[in-house]
Amino acid sequence: MHDLIASPFLDSFVVLRPGRLEGIKLSEPRFRELECARDSGANIPFWLAAAAGTSATRTS
């Protein structure tokens, strides 16, 4: 499992992995989808698992 941080950044949203320089830029709807997954305890969306190179895991 990987730790990921999703956050607003300037005029968009990003997902970062602590200690890494790379990140994933998100649209607002994708960021809101992550918020909903976190709040409901759902699995992370498939698109994020694929982009992060992981299997689907729970958000924390």
**φ, ψ of residue 41 in degrees (nearest 5):** 75, 15
Q: Percent of the chain at pLDDT above 90? A: 48
Which pLDDT score, from 0 to 100, does residue 56 have?
A: 43
Which pLDDT score, from 0 to 100, does residue 58 have?
A: 43
Which pLDDT score, from 0 to 100, does residue 12 have?
A: 92
Residues of the chain scoring pLDDT < 70:
1-2, 54-60
Number of neighbours of residue 38 by Cβ within 10 angstroms: 14
The answer to whether the CB of 1 falls within 8 A of the CB of 57 is yes
DSSP characters for 12-42?
A: EEEEE-TT-S-EEEE-HHHHHHHHHHHHHTP
